[in-house]
Amino acid sequence: MTATLIWILVALVAIGLYLSWTAGRLDRLHARIDAARAALDAQLLRRASVAQELATSGVLDPAASIVLYEAAHAARQSEEEQREVSESELTQALRAVFAESQQVEAVREAPGGEAAARELTEAVRRVPMARRFHNDAVRAARALRRHRKVRWFRLAGHAPSPLAFEMDDEPPAGLVERAA
C-alpha cells in the first residue's frame, strides 16, 4: 500500500516538474518574442530614419525625395494596426527610388552620400533578419501552444497568442548590387 502511494506521489511530482518545465519554456519563448520584436522595431525605425534623412538631404531628385520622405514618415508615425502595411510601402518606395545602381552611385558621389548609402544598405539588410528572428520565435511559441498539455493545463496563462510580422522586405536591387 505505501509503495503504491510512493509511486503515485513520484509520478505526480514528475508530471508536475514536466509541466513546470514546459510552462517555463513557454515563458522563455514569450520573452524571446518580446526581445525579437523590440529588435525588429529598432531596425524598422532605423531604416525609416535613414530613409527620411536621405530624402531631406537634397541628394535625391525632388520626386524621389517626396516619395521616400512620405513613405518613411508614414512608417515612423503609423499605428500598430497599420505598421505592416506602412513598412511594406516604405520598402516599395525604397525599391522604386533605388531600383537601379545609378541612383545609388549618384547618392554616393554627393558630399556625405557614401556614409548615408552605407547606413541605408545596412538598415535594409538588417530588417529581414530581425523579422525572420521574430517570426521564428513566434512560430516556435505557436507550435508549443498547440500541444494538448499546454491547452489542457492552461500553461500559457493569459498571454495573448503571438502574431508574426508580415511585410514586404525585399531589398532594392540598386543597393544590393552595389553591396555585393
Global model pTM greater than 0.85? yes
- How far is CA 180 from its chain centroid? 23
Residues 114-148: tens digit of each pLDDT: 888 899 999 999 999 999 999 999 999 999 999 99
Residue 107 C-alpha cell reads as 547618392
d(CA 95, CA 77): 20
**Is 39 in contact with 130 (CB distance < 8 Å)?**
yes
Cα distances (Å, whole numbers) of residue 31 to 38, 59, 104: 11, 42, 39
d(CA 44, CA 124): 9
Q: How do the domains of the chain map onto residue ranges?
A: 30-175
84 half-sphere exposure, CB direction, 13 A CA radius: 9
Residues 32-44: tens digit of each pLDDT: 999 999 999 999 9
d(CA 151, CA 78): 34
